[in-house]
Amino acid sequence: MNVLVLGAGQLARMMALAVKPLNINIRAFDVGSGNVVDPLSTSTIFGGLEKGIEFADFITAEFEHIDHQTLATCEASGKLRPNSQAIKIGGDRRLEKDLLIECNVANAKHQIIETKEDFEHALNKLSLPLILKSALAGYDGKGQWRLRDAAQAEEIWPDIKAFFDGGEKNVKHAVVAEQMVPFDREVSLVGVRDSQGNTKVYPLTENHHTNGVLSVSIATQVDERLQAQAKEVFDSIANELNYIGVLAIEFFQIGEQLLVNEIAPRVHNSGHWTQQGADTCQFENHLRAVCDLPLGSTELVRPSAMINILGEDTVPNEILNVASTTLHWYGKSKRTGRKMGHINVSGQSEKELALRLMQLADILPEAAFDELKPYVSAYQTKLD
């Protein structure tokens, strides 16, 4: 079986590693160069997109921000999974909000802003504070503004306008203004749907962000009612999209209610723990769904966590002395804030996992992982 992945980053790399035992061969389309490459050795080139489509039995994507012409070309081949509309929705918050309304899924109150008049209308209709997110170009905290009081409005609008003006020409840019909610924690659900409409979901994962970028995800046994609520949302969205593959949904938890923050039509950073914490990781399950293979188990095998490595190309080797710790590098050149790799760690119980997380926090350099120890300490306190 041959699969072409649109995008040649770490997610394509991890897909290739996960499914080699299933005799699934992965090539990746580098959207920057226009070349089809080996995701494990990107200097190996197999030609352009046309050659990639010819090679593939199926085509999938590792990220949402793919130009529409490329998506149309791939969809015309009849090989693209998930469909182009699902991928586009993940890359445009306006379409995403329309989908959530269509599915009657709870999310934050919001307004779409394309003009100064829209901006003023949002200020009148929504309660402060607000978070404003670029509809098209924002990710990992980029293309976002926080408006805490009305006095900031005159400062923020010129910045948003400049963002619009600096964007792709002949594209209608916008921001989505959301009413900030006083959430208890951020969680995400990674699930998978096959071409027959069967769905499975991994357990809800607790997420901690540093400067808008995911830094830690923890997967343990969760409240059954909360898990059922999340799966109902997943099924509603995935079925509406006639989705095939792995889909991630980020939530704000407020008491016993989940509000959707955003969706990602792909394998997701908060699901990396599945490599060591589940029988079938998200990368394998995505390709199983895409290639019409039976879905694998999404049950939690043991409490597990993922720590992102941001902007660092080395970590102390001593971390491998911590039991049930696995290191995953992405083969990238070092750049400030860049996702360079991640660390997975597991325990036979939640308390053992917390202990091992603290052992890692004691070894990892505080300058690069400055919020890890306080977060783990608070997590241990909740367990006591």
What is the average pLDDT across 182-188? Answer: 96
Same domain, 350 and 206: yes
Q: Per the domain annotation, does 66 fall within a domain? A: yes
Confidence of residue 88 (pLDDT cuts 50, 70, 90): very high
Query: Residue 150 sits in a domain of what CATH number?
Result: 3.30.1490.20
Structural domains counted in the chain: 3
| The two structure tokens encoding residue 287 | 């390709």
Confidence of residue 137 (pLDDT cuts 50, 70, 90): low
What is the average pLDDT across 44-71? Answer: 96
What is the average pLDDT across 33-59? Answer: 97
Same domain, 204 and 275: yes
Query: Residue 32 sits in a domain of what CATH number?
Result: 3.40.50.20
Single-letter amino acid, residue 182: P
Mapped onto helix, strand or coil, the DSSP state of residue 195 is: coil
Which one of 132, 153, 179 terminates a domain? Answer: 179
At residue 5, does pLDDT exceed 60?
yes
Interhelix angle 93-102/224-240, rounded to 10 degrees, is: 110
Quick one: which H or E segment has residue 205? Answer: strand 205-210
Looking up tokens 């445009």 gives 92
Looking up tokens 């966590």 gives 305
> What was the pLDDT predicted at 138?
58
pLDDT digits (tens, 9 = 90+) for 311-341: 999 999 999 999 999 999 999 999 999 999 9
Q: Kindly list the strands in the beta sheet with 41-45, ordered across the sheet, starting from the edge strand earlier in the chain.
A: 41-45, 35-38, 25-30, 2-6, 58-61
Same domain, 325 and 229: yes
pLDDT digits (tens, 9 = 90+) for 241-270: 999 999 999 999 999 999 999 999 999 999
Which one of 117, 149, 179 terminates a domain? Answer: 179
> What was the pLDDT predicted at 139?
55
Same domain, 221 and 336: yes
pLDDT digits (tens, 9 = 90+) for 211-243: 889 999 999 999 999 999 999 999 999 999 999
Please tell me the distance from the alpha carbon of residue 10 to that of residue 133, in angstroms, as a whole number.
25
Which one of 179, 196, 230 terminates a domain? Answer: 179
Highest mean pLDDT among 144-148, 203-207, 212-216: 203-207
Please tell me the distance from the alpha carbon of residue 162 to that of residue 152, in angstroms, as a whole number.
16
> What was the pLDDT predicted at 93?
93
What is the gyration radius of the CA atoms in the chain, in angstroms? 21
CA distances from 106 to 40, 69, 79, 111, 258 (A): 40, 32, 33, 15, 7
Mapped onto helix, strand or coil, the DSSP state of residue 64 is: coil
Same domain, 213 and 330: yes
Mapped onto helix, strand or coil, the DSSP state of residue 169 is: coil
What is the average pLDDT across 295-305? Answer: 98
Q: Per the domain annotation, does 90 fall within a domain? A: no
Angle at 243 between CA 241 and CA 244, to 5 degrees: 170
Contact predicate 24/287, CB 8 Å: yes
What is the average pLDDT across 337-348? Answer: 97
Please tell me the distance from the alpha carbon of residue 368 to that of residue 384, in angstroms, as a whole number.
28
pTM of the model: 0.94
Please tell me the distance from the alpha carbon of residue 188 to that of residue 201, in angstroms, as a whole number.
11
At residue 142, does pLDDT exceed 80?
no
> What was the pLDDT predicted at 168?
74
Q: Which residues form the domain of 123?
A: 109-179
At residue 146, does pLDDT exceed 70?
yes
